[in-house]
């Protein structure tokens, strides 16, 4: 083999290693499998639990979303901002009704190739009626998938309800070979009428996924960009079968699907009211999917072998 060809092959190998470097550096590469949605808040209240959001990835900056809250006092509120293409150094600034709520330098949960979820408490910033939420994103090439609000609104004229608010960010993807994930609600009442809300991002219309509640299928192709590009807020009536209910997300044909939020609101068995907040978990980096590394290395090797034969 002549010297020029050796230099070319060495250059190709070097370029291949540079392409793989982000996988190992954690900056722009694989950022872990993430955390399955878990209960961050639960309780019982006379009133109702409001869950709404939208409107898909648009690239607009700032990103605006409006929420029409029912009458009553906001007992607890949590804003969720899922973001595409997060990288180290990005940030968001959140404003509620013209008042700056927070500047968040890092997301609360991040997984896969920079799919991130920011979570913000907004109890004192919201009120009955129309509310405006604005997100200014410092995220070159990315931005919000949407904004979702889960708010517990107290109103003594209404019957009591029991609620669970689950949050996380788990990467169901072909690259990490994760096909399903579950989220549980403890202390449910069998046979009671309930409403379930799920927020997913990165779903694609026509790529069939499945959603199960206590083993019963409650939705197919739920991640179909129904509220906007790559954003879904799905709601359905359910009835718990036991004192612990399980929600199961199955990726199916989806290349990527990120379950982030699940809220269960049920008829309450008592008039007692309470609010219990759980400790927030932290995302941890995960192993790089071997399939991604292998494919990348094989591609580099194929190029090298091709040039060796010339």
> What are the strands of the beta sheet with 91-96, ordered from one edge?
63-69, 129-138, 91-96, 99-104
- For the cut 60, the answer to whether the pLDDT of residue 23 exceeds it is no
171 and 227 share a domain? yes
301 and 167 share a domain? no
pLDDT at position 40: 98
251 and 149 share a domain? yes
Q: Quick: pLDDT tens for 291-308.
A: 444 444 554 455 445 555
- How many structural domains is the chain composed of? 2
187 and 295 share a domain? no
Cα–Cα distance, 44 to 273 (Å, whole number)? 5
260 and 126 share a domain? yes
In this prediction, residues 168-178 reach a mean pLDDT of: 95
Query: What percentage of the chain exceeds 70 in pLDDT?
Result: 82
In this prediction, residues 40-58 reach a mean pLDDT of: 97
- For the cut 90, the answer to whether the pLDDT of residue 289 exceeds it is no
Which domain, by its residues, includes 303? 3-27+291-308
274 and 299 share a domain? no
pLDDT at position 102: 86
List of long-range contacts for 268-274, beta carbons under 8 Å, 24+ apart: 268/44, 268/159, 268/160, 268/161, 268/162, 268/189, 269/162, 269/189, 269/192, 270/44, 270/160, 271/46, 271/160, 272/44, 272/160, 273/43, 273/44, 273/45, 273/46, 273/154, 273/160, 274/43, 274/44
Report the first-to-last Cα separation within the chain, whole angstroms.
10
The model's pTM is: 0.85
187 and 283 share a domain? yes
246 and 262 share a domain? yes
78 and 18 share a domain? no
109 and 126 share a domain? yes
17 and 102 share a domain? no
In this prediction, residues 213-220 reach a mean pLDDT of: 98
272 and 296 share a domain? no
């Amino acid at each position: 083999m002549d010297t020029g060809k050796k230099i070319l092959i060495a250059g190709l190998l070097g370029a291949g290693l540079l392409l793989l470097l982000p996988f190992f550096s954690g900056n722009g590469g694989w950022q872990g499998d993430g955390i399955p949605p878990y209960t961050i808040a639960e309780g019982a209240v006379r009133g109702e639990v409001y869950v709404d959001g939208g409107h898909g990835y648009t690239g607009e900056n700032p990103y605006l979303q409006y929420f029409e809250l029912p009458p009553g006092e906001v007992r607890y509120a949590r804003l969720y901002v899922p973001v595409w293409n997060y990288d180290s150094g990005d940030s968001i600034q959140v404003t509620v009704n013209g008042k700056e709520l927070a500047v968040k330098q890092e997301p609360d949960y991040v997984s896969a190739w920079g799919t991130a979820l920011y979570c913000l408490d907004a109890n004192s910033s919201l009120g009955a009626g129309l509310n405006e939420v604005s997100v200014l994103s410092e995220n070159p090439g990315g931005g919000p998938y949407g904004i979702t609000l889960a708010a517990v609104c107290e109103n003594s004229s209404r019957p009591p309800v029991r609620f669970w608010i689950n949050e996380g960010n788990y990467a169901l993807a072909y690259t990490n070979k994760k096909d399903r994930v579950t989220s549980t609600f403890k202390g449910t009442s069998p046979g009671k009428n309930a409403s379930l809300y799920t927020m997913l991002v990165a779903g694609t219309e026509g790529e069939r996924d499945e959603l199960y509640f206590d083993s019963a299928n409650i939705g197919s192709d739920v991640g179909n960009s129904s509220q906007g590009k790559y954003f879904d807020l799905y709601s359905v009536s359910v009835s718990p079968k036991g004192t612990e209910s399980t929600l199961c997300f199955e990726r199916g044909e989806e290349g990527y699907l990120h379950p982030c939020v699940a809220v269960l609101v049920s008829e309450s068995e008592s008039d007692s009211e309470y609010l219990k907040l759980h400790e927030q978990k932290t995302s941890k980096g995960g192993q790089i999917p071997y399939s991604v590394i292998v494919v990348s290395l094989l591609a580099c090797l194929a190029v090298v072998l091709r040039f060796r034969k010339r």
